[in-house]
Structure 1
Amino acid sequence: MIFPFTAIVGQEQMKLGLVLNVIDPTVGGLLVMGEKGTGKSTAVRALAELLPDIEVSAGCLFHCDPESSTLCTSCTAKLAGQATLGREKKKMRVVELPLGITEDRLIGTLDIEHALKHGEKRFDPGILADANRNFLYVDEVNLLDDHIIDLLLDSAAMGNNVVEREGVSFSHPARFILVGTMNPEEGDLRPQLLDRFGLCVRVDSIADLDQRVEIFRRRSAFDLDPDDFLRAWAPEQQTLSERIIAARRSLRQVEWTDEILRKVVEVTLAAQVDGHRPDIVIMRAARARAALEGHRDITKEDIRETAHLALSHRMRRLPFEEPGAGQRKLESVLANIL
């Protein structure tokens, strides 16, 4: 049994970052950095219970979106012989990627012998197939093999996984929401992968006395009688689940003013972050937060809450810079502009 997401004490930014990615998968995923025992893995796994249903192509191993023009090889072949694809509902999932994964297990394999003998493709799906339109979770992401990181970056950039062997190829969509957790004490993350995460949050051990007592109480109650604990938290879970579903439906109706857009660009310029991705991520995350809060328009508060998540890992760090200097600079930038 999984500890309920809404029963997690504190760590509000981490929980917000995860929920925003459910509401709008184009936010770009979340990296959670922190020491052991701070609830990183618990929160990600608990999120699975709140994930909504999505519409997929009936019988498709890759959960293709029937409305999308990007389909797997199998669905493309089906569509060639009929007017429309069958549809069914499936619940979104959190798919875990183990550290020692091989290339074949990640991207899948083609049965060349079968193709040569029978003239048809036989593809054994990998983790990327399971992860399409789902969450892909990597614990200790900073310890992932460089070759596997390269494959993930390629798939994330293209939104597609192509496997080729001996002149035979098979492709399927690979649009996953990447969530990684790591302990910075165990090593850094490659800059290319760090920038690929739309949002990032640093979690620390909770120092508040009352909160620490409450953490112990809830964990003890869950361990003693999980069923009773889950029943007690079912209303909170249901409420958040309904808010997420409503936010997903209203997301495209959320609007923003030119003033808000200019404020976002002012923030990213003042924070001296590279590229245009930070502007896009902040706007997408702010729109998702506005939808979650029931706003019709993006507010400065939406920008303030999401800018922290979108910029903390993109701030330039000087040699021998004091811990927390970047965060203080970001706070100053937001206070001056917003």
Structure 2
Amino acid sequence: MKQPFPFSAIVGQDEMKQAMILTAIDPSIGGVLVFGDRGTGKSTAVRALAALLPPITAIKGCPTNSETSADCPDWAAIDTDKTVEIPTPVVDLPLGATEDRVVGALDIEKALTQGEKAFEAGLLARANRGYLYIDEVNLLEDHIVDLLLDVAQTGENVVEREGLSIRHAARFVLVGSGNPEEGELRPQLLDRFGLSLDVSSPNDVETRVEVIKRRDAYERNTTTFLETWAVKDAEIRDEIIKARSILAKIKTDDAILADCAALCIALGSDGLRGELTLLRTARAWAAYQGRNKVIREDLQAVAPMALRHRLRRDPLDEAGSGARVARIVNQVFNTPRVASA
């Protein structure tokens, strides 16, 4: 199997790469939704990032990639403490996947006749501690969307059939991509994505030529191309690992929390998920920059990707969602802060 295209070799698409890196630093941000033209590197980016990340430690043979034997579900019948290092999982969820393939299938006959919980793990089990990638996510069937909403909320997959119940951890970074011309995403699922961004094909000759050169070099001599970009990929990996190590120590002043709230109020964002996502994303960005505290510039850097999909529609405003967020960020941040009591 051919190794993925190097993450650092992806031309342009800086916001998409930034979003992928931030969810690698802090998976609790909630995943990435990428809308845009076909052939703009959406699937390439997620596979490249997963290949760049350090391997994870998992119990040998565990179908849910559990880190310890205590975390392995009982139905897996794993009786070893031996661990192995495996690549960060990247699992594709195809549009035509059945419910059993997604959540797993329970062998009812064996369970009733032999009293055993015979369970075949599905895609959600395989994606645990990794990435679940859905291309054309806006075309996903409604009942699969409902399943994903439940799992995204709880971090656990529950399969119940004929009075029997199977549970296992299902914590993953959800990455969805799609073409907005083919239909909108259900609001309930849209809100579950932490970050959202729009990508487009480059419109200048130099950039397009560079894309062609790199892809051609990768396909003609993969080994040499990977070696060429290995150092830059390693630098990004080290920065992610370092950011993870200091993330819990990042300080956030009340003034920054007030900024988060003021932005979401000005944007008309429903609920508090916008503030929480903005805060987590800014904290991850501060850690990636090597700072020990969140500053306004961090909020400015990540606000468009954290908030553009939480905007209420304004039929009188023809500006793109990212431009609207940037404009409101400037308006809010140019207003003097109100001193707290």
TM-score after normalising by structure 2: 0.91
Paired residues of 1:73 and 1:171 also in contact (CA < 8 A): no
Which secondary structure does the structure 2 equivalent of 1:136 belong to?
Answer: strand
The alpha-carbon deviation at position 296 of structure 1 amounts to: 0.9
Structure 2 contact 303–326 (Cα < 8 Å) conserved: no
Match of 1:336 in 2: 331
* TM-align CA RMSD: 2.1
Cα distance in structure 2, aligned partners of 1:274 and 1:251: 27
- State how far apart, in whole Å, the 1-side matches of 2:228 and 2:246 are: 29
Q: Distance in 2 between matches of 1:44 and 1:226?
A: 19
Whether 1:22 aligns to 2:24 is yes
Gaps of 5+ in 1: none
Q: Which runs of 5+ in 2 are unaligned?
A: 334-341
- Identical aligned pairs, as a percentage? 48
Choose 39-48 or 58-67, whichever is displaced more. Answer: 58-67
Is 214-223 or 22-31 further displaced after alignment?
A: 214-223
TM-superposed CA distance for 1:5, in Å, is 0.9
What residue in structure 1 maps to residue 266 of structure 2? 270
Q: Structure 2 counterpart of 1:211, which letter?
A: T
Which amino acid is the alignment partner of residue 50 of structure 2? A
State how far apart, in whole Å, the 1-side matches of 2:281 and 2:324 are.
21
Corresponding residue SS for 1:181: strand
State the partner residue of 1:33: 35
In the alignment, which of 145, 150, 157 is matched to residue 154 of structure 1? Answer: 150
Separation in 2 of the partners of 1:182 and 1:314?
17
Residues 1-51 of structure 1: CA deviation (Å, up to 9, x unaligned) = 321111011111100111111111100000000011222122122222112
Distance in 1, Cα, partners of 2:233 & 2:31: 22
2 CA distance for matches of 1:39 and 1:288? 23
For the residue of structure 1 that corresponds to 2:241, the secondary structure is helix
Q: Does 1:72 align with 2:73?
A: yes
Q: List aligned pairs for 1:1-338, cutoff 5 A.
A: 1=2, 2-66=4-68, 72-74=73-75, 87-319=83-315, 321-324=317-320, 326-338=321-333
User: Partners in 2 of 1:277 and 1:64 — Cα distance?
Assistant: 28
How far has the Cα of 1:213 moved from its partner?
2.3
Contact kept? 2:51, 2:88, Cα under 8 Å: no
Give me the whole-angstrom Cα distance separating, in 1, the residues matched to 2:74 and 2:171: 15
TM-fit CA distance, 1:323: 4.6
AA paired with 1:114? Answer: K
SS in 1 for 2:134: strand
Offset of residue 137 of structure 1: 0.2
Deviation at 1:209, TM superposition (A): 3.4
Distance 2:175 2:78 in 1: 33
**Contact 1:51-1:93 at 8 Å conserved across structures:** no
Distance (Å, rounded) in 2 between the aligned partners of 1:74 and 1:30 = 32
Distance 1:263 1:153, change over 3 A: same
CA distance in structure 1 between the aligned counterparts of 2:238 and 2:69, rounded to whole angstroms:
24
- The amino acid across from 2:122 in the alignment is G
1:10–1:116 CA distance, 2 compared to 1 (3 A): same
Q: Secondary structure at the match of 1:196?
A: coil
* Segments of 4+ moved more than 6 angstroms: none
Q: Which amino acid aligns with 2:55?
A: D
Is this contact kept in 1: 2:29–2:280, CA < 8 A?
yes
Structure 2 Cα separation of the partners of residues 331 and 248 of structure 1? 27
Decide whether aligned partners of structure 1 residues 53 and 255 sit closer, same or farther in structure 2, where only a CA change above 3 A counts. farther
The answer on whether the counterparts of 1:24 and 1:248 sit within 8 Å (CA) in structure 2 is yes
State the alpha-carbon separation in 2 of the partners of residues 61 and 223 from structure 1. 33
CA contact (8 A) 2:69 2:78 kept: no
Determine helix, strand or coil for the equivalent of 2:310. Answer: coil
* Cα deviation 1:290-316 (Å, max 9, x = unaligned): 111111111222111111111111111
